[in-house]
Every structure is written in structure tokens, then in C-alpha cells.
Amino acid sequence: MTTQLHLQIDDRSGVPVYRQIMDQIKYYVAGGTLRPGDQIPSIRELANAMAVNPTTVVKAYSELEAEGIIEKRHGKGAFIAAQAPALSVVDQEIALRRSAKQLAVEATQLQVPSPKVITVVREELGALSPERNDEDDPIKFSVLGGDRAS
Amino acid sequence: MTTQLHLQIDDRSGVPVYRQIMDQIKYYVAGGTLRPGDQIPSIRELANAMAVNPTTVVKAYSELEAEGIIEKRHGKGAFIAAQAPALSVVDQEIALRRSAKQLAVEATQLQVPSPKVITVVREELGALSPERNDEDDPIKFSVLGGDRAS
DNA sequence: CTGTCTGTTTGATAACACCCAAACACTTAA
DNA sequence: TTAAGTGTTTGGGTGTTATCAAACAGACAG
């Protein structure tokens, strides 16, 4: 049965299903709920659980593999990859700066005071950083807004 | 001639041209270089300056208008819109949190230490917030990576 | 070997994104 | 009215995205 994952797919959001899968797995990896070596649901298992075509899950898994997040093994399953070596500090900063700039522009447009922006970023970082609990989170599959399941 | 804008289009980036236009105008608005009432380049003028089809600029301007950033006036030109009334604090936070969470996940994946994330976000916010100079910035059009201009 | 897990690949479809060309309509000044 | 500026609209070509169905191939327990 592999690791249980609590994935929520929202059909109404407009965000592609494969991308929702990617984002959420990334989130669990970032938060430490999923750790290197952990087995994640097989393509068919996940596709079946959320009532989508296996190819859609393949798409998500393939992209994640290309990003070095997971590793697929033929006949075995899919696993969280060993943590990739950190980029050079300059490359880190280039990538980070792009996202930060975008956040800054959006926050300004929303007229959010800077201190609040910092606070929220701190909170979101904090939600990920702590060493994760081991066997908490009753992790399940689920689907939202699905007129998918006939 | 309207307001001069320093817009750089990078064909290699993969980011759609119309979106690059949008992002940069948003950035100037957020930074105060462009203020409510300011006239921005006409569709044709901008299209000509950066060697793209006018319809591409129309796309960018229309999206910006839908977001309340600018205002198009038939026969007159395009202008920076009056600043939209701020959202409620809760709505602000919902929107902001979404972006912040994404930043946090990315930063974690990049293995950037939290303090550095905060620092960079501070810097990017700071690059926008100060009362903007009035007539600085030699603002021009330009295109990068253009095999476009024959 | 056989069955049943696993991932892999191919081909098709429908929808959308992106960019373009050209004709249309409003505004203003001469 | 005319001219030259402005934004508007329509239609099409091209490529990508998103999803699916079905057949293919490795791993392993029995």
C-alpha cells in the first residue's frame, strides 16, 4: 500500500491535475512528511484513488523526476529521491530572487504592508522547516469538486 | 510619445511575450515609476518598438485592464488606473499566503536558509516601497534575444 | 513458468495558448 | 471633412497542454 498521501484535487481550480499532484508532493517533501527513500503511491494506485487516467499521474511523476524530486523504478515503484546537492549560493540567489520579486510585486499590488509580508513568509517557512513528526497526519487520498467519479 | 518605458523582452526565456509586458508594467506600477493617470505607450507604439504584433500588446493590455492595473480608452490611449481599493484584510491574506507558501516550498527545495529568504524578500520589498524619484530612470524600449528584428 | 504487481510507450483527441494580419471604429486637430 | 493618431475585433495558423485508451516491458512471489 506504500505511503499514504493526503492529496486533494480540485477540478474547479483551473490548475492542471498533474500540476496539483506535483505541487502537493513537493510540499510534503519540503515539509519532511516525505523523506528520501520513502515509497510513494504507484502510478496506477494514485490514478485509481483519484479517478484520473494513469497517464496523467505519469506526467506528474515524470516532471517530478526531471526536477530530481522523485525517482521511478521500473517494476518497483516510485520513491522520494535523495536530496539533490545544493546549488551554488549564487544560483540559489538567482532562483530565489525571481520568486521573491514576484511576491514583492504582488504584495505591493495587494497593498499589504511590508511587515505583514515578512510575517506571513516567516510563518510559511516555519510550517515547513521543523523536523517532521514521524507517524502523525492521517494521510489519505481524497478528491474535491470531482464530478469526475461517475 | 507618452511615457517612456524600459521594457526588455527575452525571446529565449519561454515566458510569453504578453506576460513579460504585463510583469514589467506591474513592476513599474508597484515601484511608483508609473502612477495613476500616467499615459503608457499606445498599443501600436509599443508593438512597433519591440517588434511584435499589435495584437500581442492588446493581449497584455487587456489582461492588465482586467486586473484593474491600467485603463484603455478608445481613441485616446492607455493609462495607469486609479489604485483599486484595498481588499479586506482576510482576502489580502488569502492571496498573499498562496504566494508565500509557494515561495517557501521553493526556497526549501533550493535549500536556502530561512534567514536568507527573509533577507531577500526584504530587499525586494525595499526595492519597491520607497517614494520614487520623479524624473530619473532613463526609460527606453529594448529587446533582448531578438532574432525577431529582421 | 505464471500472475500480478510495477513503470513505459505510443497514438489520438480536444482544448487552449500564443502570435499574427487585416479590417473596423473612436478621438482629435487641422 | 480629412488625416493621423488611438483602441477594437475577427479569423486563422501554429504549437503546446491535458487527458485518455491500450498495448508493451521489467520485477518478483508463488
pLDDT of A137 higher than 80: no
* Other C-beta atoms lying within 10 Å of the C-beta of residue A137: 14
For the stretch B95-115, pLDDT in tens is 999 999 999 999 999 999 999
Nearest nucleotide over every DNA/RNA strand to the A43 CA, judged by C1'? C7
Instruction: Provide the 3-class DSSP secondary structure of residue A21.
Output: helix
* Residue range A35-45, pLDDT digits in tens: 999 999 999 99
For the stretch B27-53, pLDDT in tens is 999 999 999 999 999 999 999 998 999
Determine contact: A81 vs chain B, CB below 8 A: no
Q: Coil, strand, or helix at residue B73?
A: strand
Q: Which fold has domain B7-144?
A: Arc Repressor Mutant, subunit A (1.10.10)
**How far in angstroms lies nucleotide C2's C1' from the CA of residue A84?**
40
Q: If we measure between CA atoms, which residue out of B126, B100, B109 comes closest to residue A121?
A: B100
* CA–CA separation, A27 and B101 (whole Å): 9
B45 touches strand D (CB under 7 A): yes
Task: Test B99 with A86 for CB contact under 8 angstroms.
Answer: no
Closest CA to A120 of B28, B125, B26: B125
As a whole number of angstroms, the distance between CA B84 and CA B32 comes to 15
Whether the CB-CB separation of B103 and B114 falls below 8 Å is answered with no
Which nucleotides of chain C does any protein CB come within 7 A of?
5-11, 17-22, 25-28
pLDDT of residue B9: 87
Looking at per-residue pLDDT, the higher value among A56 and A141 belongs to: A56
Alpha helices in chain A (DSSP H): 17-31, 43-49, 54-66, 89-109, 114-126
Query: CATH topology for A7-85+135-144?
Result: Arc Repressor Mutant, subunit A (1.10.10)
